[in-house]
Amino acid sequence: MQVNRRQFFKICSAGLGGSSIAVMGFSPTAALAEVRTYKLARATETRSTCPYCSVACGLLVYSTGDRSKNSQSEIIHVEGDPDNPVNRGTLCPKGAGVRDMMQSKDRLKWPEVREPGTNEWKRISWHDAIERITKHMKADRDKNFVTQNKDGVTVNRWPTFAALAASAATNEGGYITVKMLRTLGVTQLDTQARI
């Protein structure tokens, strides 16, 4: 039997002594003593590390929902992970505010294109975006790919395409990216490591 705080007081005011509540077959749960239940008690806790600098402070990310399929979760709180030996629960002012970063009004939500000479973004589908991008890439690559240099050495490179990669991407995202870029022949490649 579950009772909320209001019901608990109602039961008590009906003249029953505290001790007889247990006799009646239920005991008040810990929640009864609380003013209200904590949001975090029913949140899902996920372990992560901070997305900012490279110290890698551990984070506990709390979200609504229980990760069941089709449930939408929203992050409601982030705090330092006391188990993580890097930060032992502490966070700097940047890490402590990271929820606002995830929920920034400037998050991109769908693919867009800005066409030559125009002054606006146009929303497009993923399908159209990928098709238009790969058409540009293939035409450029086929036209400018260099198979041999002037000394006859096989060089197989695509000199007219450049890439800057994200130092905040995961290792797995970065690895897949470099695997593709090198395979396409890209040598004009760099990352924030240098900056």
Partner 1 sequence: MGDRSEEARKAKLIVVDPRFNRTAAVADIYAPIRPGSNIAFFGGVINYLLSNDKIHHDYVKHYTNAAFLIDPGFGFDDGLFSGYDEVKRSYGSKDTWKYQMGADGFAKIDDTLQDPNCVFQLMKKHYSRYTPEMVNKVCGTPKDAFLKVCEIVATTAAANKTLSYLYALGLTEHSNGSQNIRCAAMIQLLLGNMGMAGGGINALRGHSNVQGITDMCLYAQTLPGYLGAPTDGDKDFATYVAKRTPKALRPGQMNFPQNFPKWFVSLTKAWYGNAATKETNFAYDYFPKLGGASDALSIFNDMFHGKVNGFFCQGFNPLASLPNKKKVGDALAKLKYMIVIDPLATDTSEFWKPHGEFNEVDPSKIATEVFRLPATFFAETSGTLTNSGRVVQWGWKAANAPGDSKDDAEIVAEIFLTLRAMYAKEGGAFPDAIRDLTWAYNQPFSPSPEEVLREINGKALVDLTVPKDPTKILFKAGDQLPSFGFLRDDGSTSCGNWIYCGTWSQAGNNTARRDNSDPSGLGQTLNWGFSWPVNRRILYNRASADLQGKPWDSSRTVLKWTGKAWGGNDVPDMRPNAAPEEYVMPFIMTPEGVGRLFSREIMADGPLPEHYEPFESPIDNNPLHPKVKSNPVARVYKADMEAFGTAKDFPYVATTYRLVEHFHFWTKYSQANAIVQPEQFVEIGEALAKEKGIKAGDRVKVRSNRGFIKAVAVVTKRIKSLEVDGKQVHTIGIPIHWGFKGTAKPGFITNTLTPYVGDANTQTPEYKAFLVNVEKI
- The H or E element spanning position 154 is strand 154-157
Nearer to partner 1, 34 or 83 (CB): 83
* Nearest distance in Å: CB 53, partner 1: 6
Residue closer to partner 1, measured from CB, 2 or 154: 154
Residue 54 contacts by C-beta under 8 Å, 6 or more apart in sequence?
none
Q: Which is nearer to partner 1, 4 or 167 (CB)?
A: 167
Q: Which is nearer to partner 1, 10 or 114 (CB)?
A: 114
Count of CB atoms within 10 A of residue 91's CB?
Answer: 19
Distances in whole angstroms, Cα of residue 31 to Cα of each of 6, 7, 41: 12, 13, 10
**CB 41 to partner 1: min, Å:** 17
1 vs 110, beta carbon nearer partner 1: 110
Identify the sign of the CA torsion 53, 93, 88, 61: negative
61, 75 contact by CB (below 8 A): yes
What's the min distance (Å) between Cβ of 39 and partner 1? Answer: 15
Least Å distance between CB 45 and partner 1?
9
Q: How far is the CB of 176 from partner 1 (least distance, A)?
A: 5
Q: Is 141 exposed, middle or buried (0-12, 13-18, 19+ CB in 10 A)?
A: middle
